[in-house]
Structure 1
Amino acid sequence: MRGPDLVEGPVEIVLDDGTVARSERFVVALCTCRRSRIYPWCDTSHRPRERAVPPSEDRSPT
């Protein structure tokens, strides 16, 4: 699995549908996996998610 591409800004990107996405930031993380909810910008959706495990009950002998 691959992470985002970091690009020095400001950035202007023309998407497949012809719309233009702009960012005035100094550095922009571009999504390369297409999982981002804010595509073309990366929202770290490429990272594996860990399930929250509830703490186990104390099972020490009495």
Structure 2
Amino acid sequence: MGRGRVTRPATRPDVVMCPGGPMLLRGDHVVVDDDGVSHATTRPVSAVCRCGKSASKPWCDGTHKVLPPKLRP
């Protein structure tokens, strides 16, 4: 019998920077906002605002989508 191939599950990074959009966090993280308040992630994937315009900071609310490209992160 020949040697079998071992297939490992693809690993996903904990942090993904979306061009022109939020930072995605996978798993358990703590985000500290501009006021120094800590916020624990509560979802499998959480989107953190990078444009500074979200009404629900530190979380992304999609506001970056309506900003002109030069104001996006």
TM over 0.5, shorter chain: yes
What is residue 29 of structure 1 aligned with on the other side? 47
Equivalent position amino acid for 1:29 in 2: A
Q: Separation in 1 of the partners of 2:26 and 2:59?
A: 13
| Paired residues of 2:21 and 2:49 also in contact (CA < 8 A) | yes
Matched positions, count: 49
Superposed CA RMSD in Å reads 1.9
* TM-score normalised by L of structure 1: 0.65
* Structure 2 unaligned residues grouped into runs of 5+: 1-18, 68-73
State the structure with bigger RCO (CA 8 A, min sep 6), 1 or 2. Answer: 1
Structure (1/2) with the larger helix percentage: 2
Equivalent position amino acid for 1:33 in 2: C
| Paired residues of 1:5 and 1:30 also in contact (CA < 8 A) | yes
* TM-score normalised by L of structure 2: 0.57
Larger radius of gyration: 1
What is residue 20 of structure 2 aligned with on the other side? 2
What is residue 33 of structure 2 aligned with on the other side? 15
**Equivalent in 54, 61, 72 of residue 43 of structure 1:** 61
